[in-house]
Amino acid sequence: MSRKKRLVVFLLCLLCLSGCSQTKVQQPPNNATPGFVTEKDVEEVDWKKNAAEFNTDAGRDMVGNEHKVGIIGPELKPNKIEKWLWHFWGIDKGKLTLVGYHKESKEISPVFSEGVWSRNGIGGGKLNGADASLPTNVVLPKAGKWAILIYIDKQLFDILVIEVNA
């Protein structure tokens, strides 16, 4: 194979690899939580109210808080990126911010696997009985009980309490 052909093949391989899904957890550029997240928000976490499985009017099983936020996706394992499809009731657009709070260590972590706190894009119309939805890749760094504080346009919208098992 000529040198030029090898270079083309090499560049095509690089291009293909750059399009593969992310498997490494990204760390946020700085650990500062978004300025609109308050201690009062964390104090509102009801650690006894775990996210529960429910069935929507459209016949889909989800986990979350019925008629508020529902997720279709696998259970999280520490440092394992998973794809979740979020569903929202009572809102049809907005910027989503997810803040993970670990009960035991009090650690605060972004939930999006890209290491960012927020993403635009809630919308897409009704899906599975919800008013809006958004697919994301999510990850949490350690096992234990986590509260996921869910903000829409910088306003606390809901809180999901989940268990991340090793």
Please check the confidence at residue 14 and state whether its pLDDT lies above 80: no
Sign of CA dihedral 106, 84, 58, 150: positive
pLDDT (tens digit, 9 = 90+) per residue, 134-162?
999 999 999 999 999 999 999 999 999 99
Quick one: pLDDT at residue 115? 94
Q: What angle do CA 34, 39, 43 make, to 5 degrees?
A: 130
Which residues does 83 contact at the CB level (< 8 Å), separation at least 6? 73, 135, 136, 137, 138
Quick one: pLDDT at residue 13? 36
110-123: average pLDDT: 94
Quick one: pLDDT at residue 163? 97
Quick one: pLDDT at residue 57? 74
Q: What is the rounded (10 degree) CA torsion for 148, 112, 141, 40? A: -30
Task: Give the per-residue SS3 of 42-106.
Answer: HHCCCCCCCCEEEECCCCCEEEEECCCEEEECCCCCCCCCEEEEEEECCCCCEEEEEEEEECCCC
For the ranges 23-27, 74-78, 105-109, 150-154, the lowest mean pLDDT is seen at 23-27
Contact 138, 114 (CB under 8 A): no
Please check the confidence at residue 125 and state whether its pLDDT lies above 90: no
- Report the mean per-residue pLDDT for the chain: 84
Please check the confidence at residue 15 and state whether its pLDDT lies above 70: no
Strand, helix or coil at 19? coil
Domain ranges of the chain: 24-164
44-50: average pLDDT: 96
The two tokens of residue 48 are 């006894």
For the ranges 11-20, 22-31, 120-129, 144-153, the lowest mean pLDDT is seen at 11-20
Fold observed for domain 24-164:
Immunoglobulin-like (2.60.40)
pLDDT (tens digit, 9 = 90+) per residue, 55-99?
987 778 999 999 999 999 999 999 999 999 999 999 999 999 999
